[in-house]
Structure 1
Amino acid sequence: MNIPESAPSDTDLRSWLRARVAHYVQLDVADIDTTTALTTYGLDSVYALILCGDIEDHLELVLEPTVAWDHPTIDALARHLEETLAQGSPSGESR
């Protein structure tokens, strides 16, 4: 797997995810709580797929398209991504 040379810190990853979600749902970043379900903000299946693609591009990972549904909060998603970065791509592929 091709891991970015400087993997984002826990704080950086959560901040980046908050900014992406805020952009999609047109809210201020400060209004996005990392412990609240993404669906609460109106994140629908289209934006969940877009988020998955953005994460793949940002972290150079290959992810399941259901990653945002399987990990429904920013905190849960960030934990999953951190574990994935530590272990390698879930599909064993690199980008």
Structure 2
Amino acid sequence: MPMWIVLGVCAAVFFMAVAVAGAFNLFNGGMPAAGDERPRRLLASDFTAGDLEAVAFSPAIRGYRMDEVDAVYSEMAHRIRLQEDRIAVLESRLPAPEA
């Protein structure tokens, strides 16, 4: 069998393996910035407005890790919904304004 066929098959198998590994997110894209020693901080379920300023995401090759950003925004949305519901309940307890 000619050598170029063997090399072609080997190259195809290698690129297929890399494509499958990439599809299953087996390559960790997290890379800290040079000299950045801050611990990565996400939001706890009982965060305050001040905690939003302390959020730090892990830099990745194309920005921040999407799973961390999604987790923070999901928790923020949940907390805002709870507060909106609480505001609605408290406003319903107020006496009606007199015309």
TM-score (norm 1): 0.24
More helix by share: 1
Higher relative contact order (CA 8 A, sep 6+): 1
Name which one, 1 or 2, has greater alpha-carbon Rg.
Answer: 2
More strand by share: 2
